[in-house]
Chains A and B, each alone.
Chain A
Amino acid sequence: MSQQARAELISAYLDDQLQGEEAERFERLLKEDESVRREVEGMRHVVSNLRHLERMAPPPTLNQHVARRIALAGEQRSLLDRIETGMAGIQTPSNNFLMFALVFTLAVIVYLFAVYLNQDSHLQVIFDAPEKGAIVEDIEGATSVLMGSRLFLRQTDGRWVEDGLTAAEVEAAQTVTADSAAGRELLEHHPDLKGLTLLGDAVFKLHGDVIELKSSLVHGPVHGGL
């Protein structure tokens, strides 16, 4: 018999939980085995000691502490209730308002993000493709681009030069930086250039003047069309 099984029998015996054959078997074991008798006495001693353990009165301040905790919890609950009630007050008439506010906030976030991206795209000098412009999928590999009615040819130095311009004209081109006020004015408001995409430094003729529009910035990877 395992120690655990023996302990269970002894414990049950002390609690008068053994019945029938089990009780008889244990009585026999008790008579025959001295070690079982010793264990019974040992466990009886344990039980007796436990039963005589004095009960302790809770510390006299405990009730005050409990009362304080409950009051504190009540105040917190009350505060939460007030907040919930207040929220409920807002919610009922203004559910639509909350939804609108949420959508508006999201829209603002999206707009700001778009502005940020746009700024980023300005840095890379990427604009929307012109309506009539040819779209070049792999702009980095392109050597010529049709922008509106103008054909631009890529030079070995990376500049885009309008077809038909002589080397002298290119050399004498008036330089305008894209992100300068004049550059922006050209790109944004000039009827011939409005909405056009500047991929990098571009030289073109505009009302008799040859202009080199410089991106002035590092050319990043080109993500869009012209």
Chain B
Amino acid sequence: MYAVTTVDPRLFSSTPDLDLVERHRYGDAEAFEEVYSRFAALVYNLCLRMSGSPEEAEDLTQEIFLRIHRNLGRFNGKSSLKTWIYRITLNYCRSKLSVKKHRYPTAPLAEETEEGGVHLTDPSRGPEERTLAQDAARHVSLALRQVKPKFREAVVLRDIEGMSYDEIADILGVRIGTVRSRIARGRDRLRIILEKTALEKTAP
């Protein structure tokens, strides 16, 4: 099915990313499997945080990997493969979410995950600590869905993915000042929502 070559493409690649890309270009199916195993969790979690639904995150992830597979051969190494995949993921999520005028579901994420993804549990946490953490996580996840997508993606990249402002600016294709502003507005919106939720919980 694939083109046969007698030259090992790895001889020409200068970085691990480009090595994978070259192997993919030469029809090495394992190269894409490697890309998948390296980035599946990243893409899925990003989709999950952007869409707020495990089912939708799964659909989005499938579509995104289809696009990655189709376009991997065109990756030129100007950015890291991870940045490139982040860009594809966010662009695709953004287009889908804007088309759908995404609704803000209210079903708790913890329940939804029983059908969808699986928690990567921190084994160092005790059962009580885990319950509290899950409760807090549920509230934050719900609140996150109520933040505008452009602020949400900045917050997700910064606080969940742990990226620097420079990296976020590179991925989103905006200036650092814009990144700073979007992160702030996203966080502030979350703060207001969570404070309101806390007040409602304590109200008689």
Contacts and interface: CB of A to CB of B under 8 A. Distances in A.
Interface in A22-52: 39, 42-43, 45-47, 49-52
Interface stretch (B6-14, B15-23, B90-98, B187-195): B187-195
Given A7-B184, A46-B140, A51 B160 contact: yes
B37 to A, nearest CB: 8
A49 B32 CA distance: 34
B137 A58 contact: no
Q: Which of A12, A66, A70 has the most CB of B within 10 A?
A: A66
Secondary structure of the A contact surface, majority rule = helix
B100 interface: no
B70 interface: yes
A66 B184 contact: no
B122 A62 contact: no
Interface residues of A, number: 35
A53 B140 contact: yes
B66 interface: yes
Contacts of A73: 66, 69-70
Secondary structure of the B contact surface, majority rule = helix
Contacts of B121: 54
Nearest to B59: A65
Given A55-B45, A56-B120, A63-B36, 20 more contacts: A8-B180, A11-B183, A42-B191, A42-B195, A43-B187, A46-B140, A46-B194, A52-B137, A53-B49, A54-B133, A54-B137, A55-B41, A55-B120, A56-B117, A57-B44, A58-B41, A66-B36, A69-B66, A70-B69, A73-B66
Interface of A: 3-4, 7-12, 15, 17, 39, 42-43, 45-47, 49-60, 62-63, 65-66, 69-70, 73
3 smallest beta-carbon distances between A and B, as pairs: A11-B184, A56-B117, A7-B188
